[in-house]
């Protein structure tokens, strides 16, 4: 597998720390609002990554956090805590907001066929871990205390600017809004590990610590959960490109300070989904959510298909016109697949060739568009049997997860054509005295909930009631 590594700015062969095992950390949502479809694009890319690695035979463990404290409206130390802002907006408690939007997020993932992370944990449930890490960083001279807050001293970091690939001056201009020019700090990019003062007035979730009652910074949460659940060596860390600075940059600085050695080898970042006006936002106008797309007649898996058609690293502009195009292609694809009969010979060599081609596409830095082309090539191939196509596409769909074989429509109109085709195949099998195949077709349909009834005048069928 070859992946583009933001750390080295190169496509590199993927070699996990421990052979055959992959440890992945993916930044989770800040649960102060619904996820917009831009956020969801990042989770879709991560899902393809996880499923590709599993398809290639790796044993994958993925951890994700739920940010329910400490993420400011800027991505640095300034502004309000997003959770507090959400609670104020809706007249609810922070806990109620967190619970409501966590559930909404999980529902979105389910609808998009995203595999649940193996470990999904709330940031606020692991305060003791952050405290332990901060204590060590203070002891080792990586952090300092100023006016009741604890800051990380970036001058002590090994290569603070490597991930972003930018110099301090460039970053200062690029992220003016995200970084506070806090007078407590030695360097403007030093960042908060623990706060007891600055934004304390508004902070509802707070805990006791050796430095007084307060709350953790956003960045330490991800380092804390990653090190706690995945150990000292992380293989892959993912997020959207906006996470590169300051969030992931700070995660590297503090994790390596805490561990005393390099931490994560591969950093993967998904390009943004933008709307026509530019950046997708939760604060201006109508939020583009998955439910909104559904209301407008676009099922979640159509959005998944839309995303898989472009490379995860490219930015992508959303429009209803392009989603409409994706919907019609997706519907057509499913109709073609539903006409395939699963019965018959499987051509093992052809099967293996296509599996290899599919693996190769995804191993090339997750080229999902190429993987989809291979799926279409399979459908078009006149030299392979329906059964081979059927099995291949079933396999592909373990990664693509486009629900190509599950359909509400399978119970009604689309299914009619499929059943009739199967009845005709069975008739031909009988005519050729191939009773084994005829029985196999009958049994296959039975498994799918359809009972064939042989009459004097031909064959009819009924649906088996549950
Ligand atoms: P948040 O809930 O803001 O912490 O973000 C959750 C995930 O969505 C992070 O991995 C972000 O990098 C990612 N993200 C934010 N905006 C976009 C966007 N417009 N397109 C794609 N990913 C995004
Ligand atoms: Zn994170």
Pairing status of strand 273-275 against strand 2-5? unpaired
- Are 82 and 231 contained in the same domain? yes
Note whether 382 and 316 are same-domain residues: yes
82 and 160 fall within a common domain? yes
Ordered strands of the 278-279 beta sheet: 278-279, 273-275, 316-317
Whether residue 74 is found in the same domain as residue 130? yes
Is the CB–ligand 1 distance for residue 42 below 6 Å?
yes
Q: 347: Cβ below 6 Å to ligand 1?
A: no
Token pair for 265: 């080898």
Which one of 253, 284, 315 terminates a domain? 284
The answer, yes or no, to whether any atom of ligand 1 lies below 6 A from the CB of 240, is yes
Distance from Cα 33 to the centre of ligand 1, integer Å: 12
Q: Which residue has the tokens 């159509």?
A: 302
For residue 158, report the distance from its CA to the centre of ligand 2, in Å.
20
Residues 231 and 243 in one domain: yes
CA 369 – ligand 1 centroid, Å? 22
Picking from 284, 311, 344, the residue at the C-terminal end of a domain is 284
218/248 same-domain check: yes
* CA 41 to ligand 1: nearest atom: 21
C-alpha neighbours within 13 Å on the C-beta side of residue 377: 14
Q: List, for residues 106-163, the tens digit of each pLDDT value.
A: 999 999 999 999 999 999 999 999 999 999 999 999 999 998 899 999 999 989 999 9
Establish whether residue 66 lines the binding site of ligand 1, counting it when its CB lies within 6 angstroms of any ligand atom.
no
Expressed as residue numbers, the domain containing 337 is: 296-406
> Which residues lie below 8 Å from residue 152, measured CB to CB, with a gap of 6+?
137, 142, 143, 190, 191, 192, 193, 250, 253, 254, 257
Q: Which is the closest atom of ligand 1 to the Cα of 26?
A: 10
Q: How far is the CA of 448 from the centre of ligand 1 (A)?
A: 40
* Per-residue confidence (pLDDT) for residue 409, from 0 to 100: 45
Q: Is 27 in the pocket of ligand 1 (CB under 6 A)?
A: yes
For residue 414, report the distance from its CA to the centre of ligand 2, in Å: 44
Whether ligand 1 lies within 6 angstroms of the CB of 1 is answered as no
Residue 274 lies in a domain: yes
Q: Is 12 in the pocket of ligand 1 (CB under 6 A)?
A: no
Residue 81 contacts residue 214 (beta carbons within 8 Å):
no
The answer on 333 and 187 residing in a single domain is no
Which ligand is in closest contact with the Cα of 123? 2
Q: Among 123, 225, 242, say which to mutate for ligand 1: greatest number of ligand atoms within 8 Å of CB.
A: 242
- Asked if residue 130 belongs to a domain, the reply is yes
Q: pLDDT tens string for the chain (466 positions)? A: 999 999 999 999 999 999 999 999 999 999 999 999 999 999 999 999 999 999 999 999 999 999 988 777 777 777 778 888 888 888 888 889 999 999 999 999 999 999 999 999 999 999 999 999 999 999 999 999 998 899 999 999 989 999 999 888 888 776 655 555 566 788 889 999 998 876 556 677 889 999 999 999 999 999 999 999 999 999 999 999 999 999 999 999 999 999 999 999 999 999 999 988 887 877 666 789 999 999 999 999 999 999 999 999 999 999 999 999 999 999 999 999 988 988 889 999 999 999 999 999 999 999 999 999 999 999 999 999 999 999 999 999 999 999 999 764 444 444 677 788 888 889 888 998 999 989 989 998 888 888 999 988 889 898 887 6
Q: Does residue 291 lie in a domain region?
A: no
Q: Which atom of ligand 1 is nearest to the CA of 243?
A: 12
Nearest to 85 by CA among 35, 127, 33, 38: 33
Task: Assess if residue 152 is contained within a domain.
Answer: yes
Give yes or no for a contact between 292 and 251, defined as CB atoms under 8 angstroms apart.
Answer: no
Mark whether 280 and 352 lie in a shared domain: no
Identify whether the C-beta of residue 70 lies closer than 8 Å to the C-beta of residue 32: no
| Same domain, yes or no: 104 and 227 | yes
Span from the CA of 278 to the centroid of ligand 2 (angstroms): 23
Asked if 319 and 254 sit in the same domain, the reply is no
The ligand 1 atom nearest the CA atom of 82: 3
Cβ 70 under 6 angstroms from ligand 1: no
pLDDT at 175: 63
Q: Is 271 near ligand 1, meaning CB less than 6 Å away?
A: no
Pair (253, 149) in one structural domain? yes
3-state SS, the chain, equals CEEEECCCCEEEECCCCECCEEEEEECCCECCCCCCHHHHHHHHHHHHHHHHHHHCCCEEEEEEEEECCCCECCCCCCCCEHHHHHHHHHCCCHHHHHHHHHHHHHHHHHHCCCCCCCEEEEHHHCHHHHHHHHHHHHHCCCEEEECCEEEECHHHCCCCCCCCCCCHHHHHHHCCCCCCCCCCCCCCCCEEEEECCCCHHHCCCCECCCCCCEEECHHHHHHHHHHHHHCCCEEEEEEEHHHHHHHHHHHHHHHHHHHCCCCEEEEEEECCEEECCEECCCCCCCCCCHHHHHHCCCCHHHHHHHHHCCCCCCCEECCHHHHHHHHHHHHHHHHHHHCCCCCCCCCHHHHHHHHHHHHHHHHECCCHHHHHHHHHHHHHCCCCCHHHHHHHHHHHHHHHCCCCCCCHHHHCHHHHHHHHHHHHHHHHHHHCCCHHHHHHHHHHHHHCCEEEEEECCEEEEEECCC
Domain end residue (candidates: 284, 316, 339): 284
386-400 and 348-363 helices, crossing angle to 10°? 20
Ligand nearest to the CA of 31: 1
Atom of ligand 1 nearest to the CA of 241: 12
CATH number of the domain bearing residue 303: 1.20.120.1910
pTM: 0.87
**pLDDT of 155:** 95
Whole-number Å distance between alpha carbons of 301 and 225: 30
CATH assignment of the domain containing 101:
3.40.50.620
Which residues on adjacent β-strands are paired with residue 61?
A: 23
- Whether 318 is in a domain gets the answer yes
Tell whether 289 is covered by a domain.
no
Residue 337 sits in the same domain as residue 416: no
CA of 42 to the centre of ligand 1 (A): 6
Count the domains in the chain: 3
């Amino acid at each position: 597998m070859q992946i583009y590594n933001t750390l080295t700015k190169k496509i590199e062969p993927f070699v996990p720390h421990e052979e055959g095992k992959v440890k992945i950390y993916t930044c989770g949502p800040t649960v102060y609002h619904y996820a917009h479809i831009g956020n969801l694009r990042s989770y879709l890319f991560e899902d393809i990554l996880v499923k590709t690695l599993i398809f290639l035979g790796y044993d994958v463990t993925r951890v994700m956090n739920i940010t329910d404290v400490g993420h400011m409206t800027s991505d640095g130390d300034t502004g309000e805590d997003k959770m507090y802002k959400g609670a104020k907006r809706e007249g609810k408690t922070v806990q109620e907001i967190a619970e409501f939007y966590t559930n909404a997020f999980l529902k979105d993932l389910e609808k998009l066929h995203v595999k649940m992370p193996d470990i999904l944990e709330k940031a606020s449930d692991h305060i003791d871990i952050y405290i332990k890490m901060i204590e060590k960083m203070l002891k080792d001279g990586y952090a300092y205390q100023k006016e009741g807050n604890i800051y990380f001293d970036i001058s002590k970091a090994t290569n603070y600017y490597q991930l972003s690939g930018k110099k301090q001056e460039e970053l200062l201009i690029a992220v003016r809004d995200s970084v506070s020019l806090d007078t407590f700090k030695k360097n403007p990019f030093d960042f908060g590990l623990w706060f007891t003062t600055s934004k304390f007035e508004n902070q509802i979730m707070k805990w006791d610590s050796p430095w007084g009652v307060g709350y953790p910074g956003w960045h330490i949460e991800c380092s804390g959960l990653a090190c706690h659940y995945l150990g000292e060596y992380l293989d892959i860390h993912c997020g959207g490109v906006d996470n590169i600075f300051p969030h992931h940059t700070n995660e590297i600085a503090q994790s390596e300070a805490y561990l005393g050695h390099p931490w994560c080898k591969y950093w993967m970042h998904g390009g943004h989904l933008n709307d026509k006006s530019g950046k997708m936002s939760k604060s201006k106008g109508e939020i583009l959510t998955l439910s909104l797309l559904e209301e407008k007649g676009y099922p979640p898996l159509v959005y998944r298909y839309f995303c898989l058609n472009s490379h995860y690293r490219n930015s992508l502009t959303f429009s209803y016109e392009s989603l409409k195009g994706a919907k019609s292609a997706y519907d057509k694809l499913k109709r073609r697949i539903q006409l395939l009969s699963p019965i018959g010979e499987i051509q093992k060599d052809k099967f293996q060739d296509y599996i290899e081609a599919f693996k190769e596409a995804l191993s090339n830095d997750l080229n999902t568009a190429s993987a989809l082309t291979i799926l279409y090539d399979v459908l078009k191939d006149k030299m392979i049997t329906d059964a081979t196509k059927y099995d291949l596409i079933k396999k592909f769909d373990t990664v693509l997860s486009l629900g190509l074989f599950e359909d509400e429509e399978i119970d009604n109109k689309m299914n009619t054509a499929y059943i009739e085709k199967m009845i005709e195949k069975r008739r031909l099998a009988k005519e050729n005295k191939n009773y084994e195949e005829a029985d196999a077709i009958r049994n296959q349909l039975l498994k799918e909930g359809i009972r064939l009834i042989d009459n004097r005048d031909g064959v009819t069928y009924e649906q088996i009631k549950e």
